[in-house]
Amino acid sequence: MATAAYNAAAAPKAKANANAAAAAAARAGLAPEAAVVRLGPGMDPQQIANAMSEFGTLGLMPGAETRATLEVAVVRAGSYMTSQDVANVCFTYAKLLE
């Protein structure tokens, strides 16, 4: 019960932090999607899962080219993913498609 209360209280702050991080990245001219497209073919399973998880955590739907790159990478490296990697990928889809 305490965990549910903590999660409910922390959710708005986490969302605000994620929005602030996304805004800061945009102001700084960072291009995480371009980096994912460029590096995606060489990513190992954990890097793929982490990249996807970050999009989910920030609540940012990646563009079509980035999604395609990540999906190809997941298919390529899927059999080598740990349960945590798979959970991160599932979290991202659940979060972005809600």
- Please state whether the predicted TM-score (pTM) of the whole model is above 0.95: no
Average pLDDT value over all residues in the chain: 79
Q: What is the pLDDT of residue 75?
A: 94
In this prediction, residue 95 has a pLDDT band, given cuts at 50, 70 and 90, of confident
Nearest to 66 by CA among 34, 29, 28: 34
Q: What is the pLDDT of residue 6?
A: 47
pLDDT tens profile 37-62? 988 899 999 999 999 888 888 888 88
The answer, yes or no, to whether residue 73 has pLDDT greater than 70, is yes
